Amino acid sequence: MNLNENYLDADVPERKLKPSKSGNFEGIPIVAPTSEPTTSVNLDKTFFTKAPLAVSISDDRSMSRSTSINSLNTAYLSSRRSPLRAMKLQAKNDLMSTELTNSSGNISQLPSVQKKYADPYLDSENDIRSRLAESIYSMETSVRGSEIQRRPYVSNEIPNVFKFSKPNNVKVPNEQETYDKNFLIFTSAGKPIYCMHGKDEKIMSYTGLVNTVVSYFQVNGPSELKTISTFASDKRFTFLDKSPILLMAQSERGESSNELLNQLDFLYSYILSSLSERQLVRLFSKRENFDLRNYLETTDFENLDEICSLICDRMFPSLLLNSLQCLPFRHSSRLKLQSLILQQLEKRQDIPRGTLLYGLIIAPQNKLCCVLRPKGHTLHTTDLHLLFCLISHQFQNLDETQELWVPICFPKFNSSGFLYCYIKFLPNDSNSNEKSALVLISAQKDAFFSLKSFSDELIVKLESERILKKINASKGFKLSDIPAPMVHHFIYKSKQNVQYVMPHFEINSNIAMDSSQGLEYELKLKTYYQQLHGTVVRDNGNLLSRSILNFVKWSSQDNKDMAIDETRMQFSELDEYIIGNSSFEQESVNMLGMAWVTPKFELYLIGNNGVVDKKVLFKSARKVANWCQKNESRLFISEGAVF
Amino acid sequence: MLQFKLVLLGDSSVGKSSIVHRFVKDTFDELRESTIGAAFLSQSITIHPNDGNGAKDVVIKFEIWDTAGQERYKSLAPMYYRNANAALVVYDITQEDSLQKARNWVDELKNKVGDDDLVIYLLGNKVDLCQDMPGSETIPELNEGEDDEQKVRAISTEEAKQYAQEQGLLFREVSAKTGDGIKEIFQEIGEKLYDSKKDEILSKQNRQINGGNNGQVDIHLQRPSTNDPTSCCS
């Protein structure tokens, strides 16, 4: 894909860029578009944070020097973002959201926290014991302002260095609230179809503007408009023109255009999966101003909501890495499972070829457990992600007494036709709510009963051979299973298999994963990974080179050394508190992450807070990589059951 | 054991899935998601035929297609009703146009399924939303909170009843939420189907009894079916 970013920028006094009541667009200064991408004018420093570094492993010395530049900038980027639009209210939100463990969330105590210069913690910082502790444990984030309550956590809390206006799942009654990320979908004629946040009245005013911008570029430039970036506020507006549908992403989270385009393409793929391209074109060929919203159903909007929240708020590396998450499963059991399925297929010669195209067993949390596929054919990851989203969201309330017959268009397989999915949840004795699903995919709409009998016999087989029990018992792995110290979390992607694995999240056990704190953790982790990934890919999404080793450092200390110190003084006390070194005032942030790309695998790894030694982290990373390679047959599906 | 195929049809969100779940599991889910495609379930009932043939209980197994009401899945519908023995056509008594959709379904069934034995049952769902029905006291506690706007009945019992009589349909108003009338529908359908197929069943049974087999017989009542996994025509 050829990306063409057109940067619009102007010298607008920063103070003007406050969020306004009438909508998010006010902050963008739109001037005459530069006909070619400019790299010389008005480039804000944050631009360079995206400048990735490709460093070979052997060149250790130069690596450390260059990466530190990179990391400085990254840290700068992440904490610099908010000042320009810092409303007091928003600032308070920031505080509350970053204050992970402070249950009271009492705003009134904010002023008392301002005593940063007389900080008892700073004095104790030289204490060897505390520094030692720091390298192993990270601090509870709520210690701010209170006595030094160093409750050593077992290294499982990482600080949040990213400024989000607020977690998106928190509903704020204030309608004027602006979002740091939004998705909008309209028809090319300007009718709204879907928006992630915001009401119709607000969106309506967008449509005209967006259409004007898009058609301006269609008329005037040979280049397709993809992204408008405002450096001043670090906002990005990315467009995907899939006439008759137009999609737009708005983000302040520092994602690359390509990443946003991928996200938009995923949303578009969902719409296709529900309608198919043929139907979409037909609907709009009759009337260009067709109102698609009336044609889509409640379920579609629910699913779009779900997908948007997956993209924006959840740890969902599948899309970023364009690969599937796989269920770790004993190799011999996986072979057994595959051979059982193939035997069953062999036995049912009466099912004509083409009736059963693909078979999948999907474990809870969208982990692929088994694939049955014809030789030479695989399903595209996007198609599978769509199917997984449907299963985990739409059908989660179903139980094993029901069987479903669902027409789905798999846009990357064939965007103009439907396939039919037989979906049945597999029985699970261990009364957990999480059930695996068996999916059989056919091209024939009346194949239900053939597939049903196939499935009935297969499930009996799986139960009698105790394979089902093993599937249900498979629990994935924990970080502690791997002898790799100082690692907080990692994602390992096997390139050949287009699959990735990651350990369970390990956060404070009294935080439920779907509580707001759990969600915040996911968002935080997601952002770390997103920035790590951003250092190894080009603007078009391709990897920089075949082998890359990048370290990225997020640090609160570095902030102080930066030149922004002066500008920072201009802000009010409250602002400064947020911007300065924000919530980690008492917690020194020294996060080190690394992205390691080889021809065989990609490893993204985040160290514990306080681990500053690249060698230590790299040693652990090697252990992680070795472990994953050693267990490759357990962690990944290599071929699947091929017929 | 007798096996009958049953299909639910009707506009979206009239409560088809809720009716099936009340019947199959005796549960009700306030926040049921819309059905995508169709769901296949089964449930058995026992009927007590009083036809001189000794009061022998008969077990009937219903295989139920719970279809999506959404317009876009309409082209799939024939596959579900083609071999059905009974069809439940559901409308929402608080939604004016849902009865019209139900009428369309009835017309389609009558045109496309050339079987006079097809039992069509017209069901008005959600009577619990209209507590002002004659005969039942208004009990506000039943509706606590979640339905802040008390829905108004949009389709009178008489109107639907009259239509059902004209078309020769069975008719009942039910509530999947309270379970009111749900069991009775399936009982009634079971009995009616048993009655209409009785002679066929008995003759088959007799043949087998004469053949010396006195035990339990499984009889599947199906017209020649493309659903048969052993035949591959479609």
Give chain A positions within 8 Å (CB) of B25.
401
The answer to whether A373 and A413 have CB atoms below 8 angstroms apart is no
Cβ contact A403–B36 (<8 Å) = no
Q: Write down the pLDDT at residue B218.
A: 53
Compute the nearest-CA separation of B166 from chain A (Å).
Answer: 33
pLDDT tens track, chain B, 234 positions: 788 999 999 998 899 999 999 999 888 888 888 888 899 999 999 988 766 555 678 889 999 999 988 877 888 888 899 889 999 999 999 988 999 999 999 999 988 887 777 899 999 999 888 765 454 444 444 444 444 455 688 888 999 999 999 998 999 999 998 988 899 999 999 988 888 877 777 777 666 655 544 445 555 555 544 444 444 443
More confident residue, A64 or A286: A286
Give chain B positions within 8 Å (CB) of A351.
229
Write down the mean pLDDT value for chain A: 71
The answer to whether A357 and A419 have CB atoms below 8 angstroms apart is yes
* Number of domains forming the structure of chain B: 1
Give chain A positions within 8 Å (CB) of B24.
401
Residues A236-268: pLDDT tens digits? 888 888 888 888 898 888 888 888 999 999 999
Give chain B positions within 8 Å (CB) of A407.
37, 73, 76
Residue B176 lies in a domain: yes
- At residue A474, the 3 state secondary structure works out as coil
The alpha carbon dihedral of B212, B216, B218, B221 has a sign of positive
Q: Write down the pLDDT at residue B141.
A: 46
Q: Write down the pLDDT at residue A296.
A: 87
Residue A434 neighbours by CB distance under 10 Å: 13
Quick one: angle between helices A257-275 and A298-313, nearest 10? 160
Alpha-carbon gap, residue A165 to A161, rounded angstroms: 13
Q: Write down the pLDDT at residue A385.
A: 93
Structural domains of chain A, with CATH: 1-38+158-315 (3.30.450.70), 44-150+477-504+507-643 (no CATH), 329-475 (3.30.450.30)
Residue of B nearest to A275 (CA): B72
β strands within A443-512, DSSP E: 487-494, 499-501
Alpha-carbon gap, residue A224 to A349, rounded angstroms: 51
- At residue A31, the 3 state secondary structure works out as coil
Q: What is the dihedral of CA A190, A193, A199, A202, to 10 degrees?
A: -10
More confident residue, A175 or A464: A464
Q: Is the pLDDT of residue A120 over 50?
A: no
Q: Is the pLDDT of residue A287 over 50?
A: yes
Portion 363-392 of A in contact with B at CB < 8 A: 390
Alpha-carbon gap, residue B76 to B81, rounded angstroms: 10
Give chain B positions within 8 Å (CB) of A401.
24-25, 41-42
Average pLDDT for A189-206: 79
Q: What is the dihedral of CA B141, B143, B147, B149, to 10 degrees?
A: -70
Average pLDDT for A538-560: 76
Compute the nearest-CA separation of B15 from chain A (Å).
Answer: 15
Compute the nearest-CA separation of A119 from chain B (Å).
Answer: 52
Query: Is the CB of residue B226 less than 8 Å away from at least one CB of chain A?
Result: yes
Considering only CB atoms, B229 lies closest to which of A350, A398, A420, namely A350
Residues B124-155: pLDDT tens digits? 999 888 765 454 444 444 444 444 455 688 88
Q: Write down the pLDDT at residue B138.
A: 44
**Per residue, what are the HEC states of B19-35?**
HHHHHHHCCCCCCCCCC
Residue in A74, A256, A103 with CA at minimum distance from that of residue A161: A74
Model ipTM over 0.85:
no
Q: Which two tokens stand for residue A567?
A: 């500008």
Q: Is the pLDDT of residue A562 over 90?
A: no
Residue B226 lies in a domain: no
> Which residue bears the tokens 């599906």?
A637
Distant-in-sequence, close-in-space partners of B56: CB < 8 Å, separation ≥ 6? B49
Compute the nearest-CA separation of B172 from chain A (Å).
Answer: 26
Alpha-carbon gap, residue A532 to A607, rounded angstroms: 12
- B interface mutation test: which of A405, A409, A423 has the most B CBs within 10 A? A405
Q: How many inter-chain contacts (A to B, CB under 8 Å) are there? A: 70
Residue B232 lies in a domain: no
Residue of B nearest to A408 (CA): B37
Q: Which two tokens stand for residue A268?
A: 């578009």
Q: Write down the pLDDT at residue B6.
A: 93
- B interface mutation test: which of A450, A451, A454, A457 has the most B CBs within 10 A? A450
Query: Is the CB of residue B73 less than 8 Å away from at least one CB of chain A?
Result: yes
Return the percentage of chain A with pLDDT > 90, whole number: 21
Q: Write down the pLDDT at residue B228.
A: 44
Residue B212 lies in a domain: yes
Alpha-carbon gap, residue A215 to A211, rounded angstroms: 6
Cβ contact B34–A403 (<8 Å) = no
Residue B229 lies in a domain: no
The enclosing domain of B95 has a CATH number of 3.40.50.300
Cβ contact A448–B226 (<8 Å) = no
Q: Write down the pLDDT at residue A161.
A: 63
**DSSP one-letter code for A499:** E
Of the given ranges (A389-398, A436-445, A572-581, B28-37), which has the lowest mean pLDDT? A572-581
Residue B144 lies in a domain: no
Residue B225 lies in a domain: no
Q: Is the pLDDT of residue A294 over 60?
A: yes
Residues A131-180: pLDDT tens digits? 444 444 444 443 344 334 443 333 446 666 665 544 444 444 444 456 78
- pTM confidence score: 0.74
Residue B175 lies in a domain: yes
Portion 21-60 of B in contact with A at CB < 8 A: 24-25, 29, 32-34, 36-42
Compute the nearest-CA separation of A278 from chain B (Å).
Answer: 13
Cβ contact A394–B33 (<8 Å) = yes
The answer to whether A230 and A27 have CB atoms below 8 angstroms apart is yes
Compute the nearest-CA separation of A221 from chain B (Å).
Answer: 39
Considering only CB atoms, B38 lies closest to which of A279, A350, A405, namely A405
Residue in A515, A567, A582 with CA at minimum distance from that of residue A91: A582
- At residue B39, the 3 state secondary structure works out as strand
Query: Is the CB of residue B224 less than 8 Å away from at least one CB of chain A?
Result: no
Q: Can you give the residue range of the structural domain that contains B46?
A: 2-135+149-220
- Banded pLDDT at A431 (limits 50, 70, 90): low
Q: Is the pLDDT of residue A544 over 60?
A: yes
Cβ contact A397–B230 (<8 Å) = no
Q: Write down the pLDDT at residue A19.
A: 34
